[in-house]
Amino acid sequence: MNKNITLLGGGSWGTALSKLLSENGHNVTVWLRNEAQVRELTVNRVNERYLPKVRIPENIVFTSDINEAVKKAEILLLVIPTQMVRGVLRQIKDEYKDGKVIINASKGIEIGTMNLVSGIVKQETNNCTFAVLSGPSHAEEVGLSMPTAITIACENKDVAEEIQDMFMSSYFRVYTNDDVIGAELGGSLKNIIALGAGISDGVGYGDNAKAALMNRGIVEIARLGIAMGADAHTFYGLSGIGDLIVTCTSKHSRNWNAGYLIGQGLSKDEAIKKIGMIVEGIPTTYAAYELSKKINVDMPIVDAMYDILENDADVKETVNKLMLRDKKEEKL
């Protein structure tokens, strides 16, 4: 059954998902804050800044009027940076009433509150059903209809299956899961590890170092997740190890690229400026650092990344400290 779906956000991921949903027969509206970008996308049907190789279907509607965008929406898809979610939701309370479905396709933790997006949605909406779309899925590949597998996590099984049907296509396979916290944490925290992988490559370390970082990184992610009530198995699925692999190894990963630039000697601000897009792993590092201290979970890689980003710690000295920690058994 066709749905009226509104995407809040028109970057690379929003563009790719809007194309997919339109191809699947849904009525798609995309909200962007920038009126000039709305005009450009409406006329040219190409997102030159974020996804220049992808042709946008003619029936997708673009608008800068957020209340108009959500008025008829049955499904709301969040494709905006996590740090913007609360402010945007506060703009649409009058239009987006009880009982709606909100899907989060962004990845991060809110600085200050240390809330996942599920927590923000619960605080800022009334009785909405929340789901999270997460997994190894570069927008550049989804936009070009390359095979992709992803997870939709929702506590309501019927809604999860409805969303699964909504997204499924010949190139986009969707699995369901009921572990919302696990899927959110896997998708968010892997960006920190990807920053570290980029830094490792940037300073000239080899495959051994990156493999160790990725493996111990998923251990840290699972450790925090279990402490917050997530299912450990989630972190070994698409929204955990799957997303971690692609983000730590791909040329499309803005987090890896930002880390690589930092490893080459740029500051975090210089790296962000050069990337030209949101690098979610940086604010997520700060939020995860505070969260791990609050609930007393040992996360040495997160601590090391925080020290590099916040205190400009020397990368090689920081790696030496990680390597020379007290010996221990390999376990969570």
N-terminal to C-terminal alpha carbon distance within the chain: 44
Residue 302 CA from chain centroid, whole number: 17
Dist CA 189 CA 199 (whole Å): 16
190 is catalytic: yes
Dist CA 150 CA 238 (whole Å): 6
Cβ atoms of residues 246 and 238 within 8 Å: no
Residue 308 C-beta-side C-alpha neighbours within 13 Å:
33
Distances (CA, A) of 138 to 5, 263, 296: 21, 23, 33
Q: Categorise residue 141: left if φ over 0, alpha if ψ from -120 to 50, beta otherwise.
A: alpha
For the chain, give the number of residues: 332
Three-class secondary structure of residue 8 per DSSP: strand
Query: Which of 148, 240, 261 is closest to 189 using CA atoms?
Result: 240
Of the candidates 19, 190, 210, 268, the residue annotated as catalytic is 190
Dist CA 19 CA 208 (whole Å): 39
The two tokens of residue 185 are: 């944490």
Query: Which of 169, 174, 192 is closest to 131 using CA atoms?
Result: 174
Helices (H), the chain: 12-23, 35-44, 66-70, 82-91, 117-124, 139-143, 157-167, 180-203, 207-227, 243-249, 254-263, 268-275, 281-294, 300-311, 315-323
Residue 11 C-beta-side C-alpha neighbours within 13 Å:
15
Which residues does 290 contact at the CB level (< 8 Å), separation at least 6? 114
Question: Which residues are catalytically annotated?
Answer: 190
